Amino acid sequence: MDKIRVQNLRFYTYNGVLPEEKKLGQQIALDLELALPLAKAGQTDNVLDTVSYAEVTAKVQEFVENNQFDLMEALVSGVLDVIGADFGQQLTSALVRVRKYSVPMAGNYDYIEIEMERRFDA
């Protein structure tokens, strides 16, 4: 299946279970992977034959910046809901990864990542 990927969308959010996370906030990054047939768009060179990743990114940005969650799982699920509601008819599936860099737990690591995928009846 053909795919469009948008990598490393960065946001400063106030998501998390702990009060400090909600008060101080932290940086997160999202990856979007959109599966859909792209052969027609490749032949026609017409944006109407694909999904506009600019529009998808704008919708995701609006959602992330205007919502707050305890769990990254809820954030990712909400992003998938937005993608499905607005672009699900064009897509076969969407995969979203979120990375949280400042997690208040012991250990030596770069980030925590959540990945969820949703299939659509295109």
Checking 72-76 for CB contacts under 8 A at 24+ apart, the result is: 72/15, 72/28, 72/98, 72/100, 72/112, 72/114, 73/114, 73/116, 75/13, 75/15, 75/28, 76/114, 76/115, 76/116
Residue type, 56: V
40 has catalytic annotation? no
Of the candidates 3, 22, 23, 100, the residue annotated as catalytic is 100
- DSSP-derived letter for residue 33 is E
User: Which residues carry out catalysis?
Assistant: 100
